[in-house]
Chain A
Amino acid sequence: MDSKRKLFLKGLRDGIPIALGYLAVAFTLGITAANINMNAFQSFLMSFGMLASAGEYAAIVLIGSAAGVAEMIATTLIINLRYFLMSCSLSQKVSPDEPLWKRMLLAWFVTDELFGISSAVEGYLDPVYTYGAAAVSVTGWCLGTVLGVIVGDILPVRLASAMSVALYGMFLAIIIPPARKSRFMALLIIASMASSFVFSKAPVISGISEGFRIIILTVVIAGIAAYLRPVEEAERE
């Protein structure tokens, strides 16, 4: 049991930069929610339940415009579809021996960042690590939302600007080390970033929503990579 505890604590530590970034991002979400007269409890409930940045912005807009149920479900599905892909990947990252309830709890925490650090674990992912990271970061996410509703614009712009970059810093910490070890991974990451840049600037294509851009690029590029360089079991473990 001691190793479980250690893993949980490691998760708590790795969750701190996520919480920092979440605090800043959720703060702006809270301000938006307050603008359409959602109260602190409603905003908290939304943040705790959805754990999604773009997804929650959309949710606020939908509530604000008194959208119908079908529109809510359809929009939420489309904007958050990338989590489907992430869950597919994580479903193979946990040991087949993990019980279903642990997987179902893990599913709650499939955000960009928690997915990122969970994927970066060597070998099988013990969900306890993700739970630890979630304990800190989800607290930051909810706290940020509630503060945004209650106190609005008190966070200095400079601080918010600096904090919001924490999330990207973490992404770099996850993708750069494998790129240093393997030339193929380095090329893969450069190709991904370059395509992402082209997709965000090119006429017509840049009109595709960000969520779909991520899905299309991931499926195509990871698909080609899997064809060019199938992963050996040894590499994965």
Chain B
Amino acid sequence: MSDRRIYLSIFIMILTVYAIRVTPFLIFRKEIKNKWIRSFLYYVPYVTLAVMTFPAILSSTSSVISGAIALAVGIAAALIGGDLFTVAICACIAVFLSELII
């Protein structure tokens, strides 16, 4: 592909992705009153993040075992009350250490 076509392609795809992200903000500028929709949108982040985390976390590292350990350590750290940063770092360290042993 020529340089010009590469830039054109990138530009087109940037616009497409932004259109997906910005459209809801343009449509729903006021608060939605419908209770079911409000509740649905309230639950969306939790369900999405849970779905994206499991089982994907198991295959995100070099071995399923270190992935499982990261999951367990992450849940434990979050239960104890760790914030975003702490839980993320704990999971990283757990993977690093467990992969040294495996």
Q: A residues bordering B, Cβ < 8 Å?
A: 13-14, 16-17, 20-21, 38, 42, 45-46, 49-52, 55, 59, 62-64, 66-67, 69, 72-73, 76-77, 80-92, 96, 100, 103-104, 106-108, 110, 112, 115-117, 119-120, 157-159, 161-178, 180, 185, 188-189, 192-193, 195-197, 200-201, 213-214, 217-218, 221-223, 225-227, 229-231, 236
Contact = CB atoms under 8 A, between A and B. Distances in A.
Interface in B28-59: 28-32, 35-57
Counting chain B residues whose Cβ lies within 8 A of the other chain, the interface size class is 35 or more
A176 B39 contact: no
Contacts of A115: 45
A42 B10 contact: yes
A224 B23 CA distance: 25
B92 A166 contact: yes
Given A195-B51, A196-B51, A88 B91 contact: no
A214 B86 CA distance: 27
Contact of B88 (A20, A64, A82): A20
Contact of B9 (A59, A158, A178, A196): A59
A146 to B, nearest CB: 14
A63 B29 CA distance: 35
A162 B99 CA distance: 9
Contacts of A69: 12
Contact of A72 (B16, B61, B83): B16
Those 8 A-B pairs whose CB atoms lie nearest each other, nearest first:
A169-B91, A49-B14, A17-B88, A176-B78, A226-B39, A192-B50, A119-B45, A169-B88
Contacts of A197: 54-55
A169 B87 CA distance: 6
A230 B35 contact: yes
Given A16-B85, A63-B1, A86 B48 contact: yes
Nearest to A228: B39
Contacts of B48: 82, 85-86, 112, 214, 218
